[in-house]
Structure 1
Amino acid sequence: MAPGRRVVLGIVGPPGVGKSTLAQALAREVGERAAYLPMDGFHLPQARLRALGTRDRMGAPETFDAAGYADLVDAVVASPGMPLTAPGFDRTVEEPVADGVRIDASARLVVTEGNYLLLPGGDWERARVRMAAVWQLRLADETRRERLLARHIAFGKSPAEALEWMTRVDEPNARLVQSYAARADLIIDVT
């Protein structure tokens, strides 16, 4: 990493593939010169989703503040040596949390992760071009779905609700994410 610069590494993949786990592990391994920036904090608040009629599709591209995410990625790259904050996300209530993520002034590598880092056009593309690289994670669908169901259940959905949500919302999003895998700088098979 060049002195006086911040580099953003993107990790992308469908829901349940392990993006957060890998991104957090990378940032931890690098230490104080790295930060973790999840895209989840840019979910639109529940009230806004209800007003837009998109609450039943939470997690789809249009249910995120893509402009806010792109603005923050711009700020991360443009402001090396400056501390920044970003919204976090509370899965127990499915709401963004203001200033839930801190990027310290010492961070030279910012590892960000999310489903839509490779979507072409608009604010997703604007964020992507500021990233040094984007790695796509790939995992057998059966394993990924098992992990995803377990996560939904752990955060309060019944098994039936978890399966319904995964089938109706997560799987179409997964297909969309996987359709842009060729745009990744590196594809990593995970187990």
Structure 2
Amino acid sequence: MEAEVDRLARKTLDDLAAKGPGYRYLVGISGVPGSGKTTLGASVAARINEFESSQDVDSNVIAHAIPMDGFHHSRAHLAAMPNAQEAIHRRGAAFTFDAEGFVDLVKRLRGHPNETVFAPSFDHALKDPVADSIAIPPTARIVFIEGNYIALNRAPWTEAAAIMDRLWYVNTPADVAVARLAKRHLASGIVADEKEAWERASGTDGMNADDIRANLLPVDEKIEG
């Protein structure tokens, strides 16, 4: 994986250089829950910043990685939906996200490369998003945006995908992703025991994974997870 991170980092830097000064380069990283999207985005961003640091450039931190998690609808919003019971049970499915808000973020990142753009985060203790809590400064010339539905072939997600310079997909075997999720659910305390953790990872999360795999847009890179 180290070699793959190096390759992706160097390719992204080459692509940015070809765009010329003042350009903000956007990479969308998609994959099923538990695929390793967050790790990949953070790793490639860190490697790019290491490369830049070695060149003694004025601003070493040019690459940032941000999650799509902050666009979860709040619990209050889900409870007010016409299909509230289903929405609460299926939290994490595409329809339980603020897709329009996500499209707006990508448009702002593209349209305002010389301004600080703010994105929401997700507070796992509160189990709700926190508005404008992630700052993407003008020095962020490369932004990796990771999330389950970034390459989903369904409106309005496709509108955001069309703005990205590159789309990557982390191609992780289903059994590996489910095992990671079960471990994560148990560690976070959102389930009572290991049995419930596996049921959630293979149930609701599995339904979301099926949707992602069945409705994946063409991507520029498929990275083995």
Q: TM-score range by the shorter chain?
A: over 0.9
Matched with 2:4 is none
Matched with 1:170 is 205
Matched with 2:221 is 186
Matched with 2:181 is 148
CA shift digits 1:42-71 (9 cap, x unpaired)? 000011112221111011000000000000
1:153 Cα offset (Å) = 0.9
1:182 Cα offset (Å) = 5.6
Letter of the 1:50 counterpart: A
Letter of the 1:17 counterpart: S
Letter of the 1:11 counterpart: I
Moved over 6 A (4+): none
1:6-155 matches, cutoff 5 A: 6-31=24-49, 32-52=61-81, 53=84, 54-155=87-188
User: What RMSD over aligned residues (CA atoms) do the two structures have, in Å?
Assistant: 1.4
Distance of 1:5 and 1:139 partners within structure 2: 32
More off after superposition, 32-41 vs 115-124: 115-124
CA shift digits 1:7-53 (9 cap, x unpaired)? 11011100000001111112222231112221111000011112221
Distance of 1:134 and 1:168 partners within structure 2: 27
Point out where structure 1 has 5 or more consecutive residues left out of the alignment.
none
Distance of 1:43 and 1:88 partners within structure 2: 9
Distance of 2:35 and 2:118 partners within structure 1: 26
Query: Secondary structure at the residue paired with 1:89?
Result: strand
User: Larger C-alpha radius of gyration, 1 or 2?
Assistant: 2
Letter of the 1:26 counterpart: V
Matched with 1:5 is 23
Q: In percent, how many aligned pairs have the same letter?
A: 37
Letter of the 2:177 counterpart: R
Q: Is residue 67–residue 121 contact of structure 2 (8 Å, CA) maintained in 1? A: yes
Q: What is the TM-score of this pair, normalised by structure 2?
A: 0.80
Distance of 1:80 and 1:182 partners within structure 2: 26
1:160 pairs with 2:189: no
